[in-house]
Amino acid sequence: MFEIITNLHSHTPYSDGEGWHREIVSAARQAGLNAVAVTDHNVFVHGIEGYYEGVMLLAGEEVHDCLRRPQSNHCLVYNANDGLSPFAAHPQKMIDEVKRREGMAFAAHPYDFASPVDDDLGGYPWTEWEVKGLTGIEIWNYMTEFKRHLVNYPIAALAIFFPSLFIAGPFKETLRKWDELAANGHRVVAIGNADAHAAKVHKAFIKRVIFDYDYLFRCVNTHVLIDKPITKNFERDKKMLYSALGAGHCFVGYDLIAPTKGFVFSARSGSDTFMMGDEFKRRGAVTFQVKCPAIGSIRLLHNGRVIASGLGRELEFHTVEPGVYRVEVYRPFRLLNRGWIFSNPIYVR
Ligand SMILES: [Zn+2]
Ligand SMILES: [Zn+2]
């Protein structure tokens, strides 16, 4: 397999971001990303996709109903190749339209909480869980997590200057919901993103651009596993990336605390080997294998419950139980154990 590092959630001045596409591409290159998606609010920008500075620039959209009160249901749309905002008031119709265009729809920051430090920092959760056809959910949105840590002014001031003291992992609520959906038979692809805006803060004595794109693209990323190397032919590579993403051949990594490239979660049954996102009918025992690029505290979960764990670079586990299996890896960084790697599930039937 070949691994490409992506960040699939960022904003430009077409909505509420501060940097243009060129800046985003440069930041992505400096951060070592292979692909970056721009997902402006209710705007699909035509004619920008392609390879720039060796980085794939993808055009997506973050669709939501601006008139809805309270605000909710931000949906990340990829590969629809046109704007979907006319459907924003009807999430199911929108998702159906995305499917018709062979695109993908992800619930963005499904748990999102308002911060008391600023009226502009509202909460935008996903509430439409009864919709059918979501490709997956954004299990870790860096800016959403950051916002939740802003519980008062002194802490907010500290967090703005030292965000890495605070960022610790996906919300428990999100992971629980993901496990619940998977336990109910849904295949739910997990992605993790920056939600980069390069926002400017002008508050009292603090005047600062927080989270420039470059910094954010070194943090929470989605690593996608493709079966052939990238060709630098944009259309071919885009197709390969999106088809692997839709199949859940990916994991979420917090690359700031240690590079997550090289992580492996696989299952062996009989003479077949399966990867993240795969679904198979077991033949006899199943052996799961986890390999990390550095030492971590590895947890293997079965239907949302930890069934094996260990500190190290590898973990192996044998079972005959069907169910949904996924991996979480934690690493200590600045005095705290922090979420490092979150695999997509392997579905054993
Ligand atoms: Zn959003
Ligand atoms: Zn966003």
Distance 195 CA to ligand 2 centre (A): 5
Average pLDDT, the chain: 95
Q: 111-125, 239-253, 312-326: which range is least confident on average?
A: 111-125
Q: Is the pLDDT of residue 202 over 90?
A: no
- Could you give the CA distance from residue 74 to residue 140 in angstroms, rounded to a whole number? 14
CATH code of the domain containing 298: 2.60.40.10
Quick one: average pLDDT of 85-105?
A: 97
Structural domain range at position 59:
2-254
Task: Compute, in angstroms, the gap from residue 296 CA to the centroid of ligand 2.
Answer: 30
Are residues 236 and 311 located together in one domain of the fold?
no
Ligand positioned closest to the Cα atom of 61:
2
Instruction: Report pLDDT for 32.
Output: 98
Please tell me the distance between residue 259's alpha carbon and the centre of ligand 2 in angstroms: 24
CA distance readout (Å), 248 to 15, 26, 173, 183, 343: 29, 27, 21, 16, 9
Cβ-contact 290, 264 below 8 angstroms: yes
Cα of 40 vs centre of ligand 2, distance in Å, is 7
Angle of helix 153-161 relative to helix 142-149, nearest 10 degrees, comes to 140
Determine the distance separating the centroid of ligand 2 and the alpha carbon of 62, expressed in angstroms. 6
Last residue of a domain, one of 222, 254, 286: 254
247 and 307 share one domain:
no
CA of 108 to the centre of ligand 1 (A): 6
Distance (Å) from CA 339 to ligand 1 centroid: 22
Residues with CB under 5 A from ligand 1 (ion): 74, 108
Q: Are residues 292 and 216 in the same domain?
A: no
pLDDT band per the 50, 70, 90 thresholds, residue 206: low
**How far, in Å, is the centroid of ligand 1 from the Cα of 199?**
14
Distance 127 CA to ligand 1 centre (A): 13
Residue 27 near residue 210 (C-beta atoms within 8 A): no
For residue 61, the CA-to-ligand 2 centroid distance in Å is 9
Q: What is the reported pTM?
A: 0.96
| Nearest ligand (C-alpha, residue 107) | 1
Query: Do 194 and 275 fall into the same domain?
Result: no
Please indicate, yes or no, whether residues 103 and 230 belong to a single structural domain of this protein. yes
> End of a domain among 254, 276, 300?
254
Clarify whether residues 166 and 73 are in a common domain.
Answer: yes
The more confident residue out of 210 and 93 is 93
270 shares a domain with 242: no
**Same domain flag for 153 and 296:** no
Domain count, the chain: 2
pLDDT for residue 205 is more than 60: no
End position of a domain, from candidates 199, 228, 254: 254
In a domain, 232, yes or no: yes
> 85 and 230: one domain?
yes
Query: From CA 103, how far away is CA 96, in angstroms rounded?
Result: 10
Residues 228 and 296 in one domain: no
Q: 259 in a domain, yes or no?
A: no
Query: What CATH number is associated with residue 246?
Result: 3.20.20.140
Query: pLDDT, tens digit, for every residue of 30-89?
Result: 999 999 999 999 999 999 999 999 999 999 999 999 989 998 999 999 999 999 999 999
pLDDT tens digit sequence for 101-151 = 999 999 999 999 999 998 889 999 999 999 999 999 999 999 999 999 999
| 326 CA distance to ligand 2 middle (Å) | 26
Cα-to-centroid distance, 216 and ligand 2 (Å):
13
Identify whether residues 127 and 206 lie together within a single domain.
Answer: yes
Average pLDDT over residues 296-302: 98
Distance 305 CA to ligand 2 centre (A): 31
CA 266–ligand 1 middle distance (angstroms): 32
Same domain (yes/no): 26, 104: yes
Helices (H), 199-332: 213-216, 234-246
H/E stretch holding 142: helix 142-149
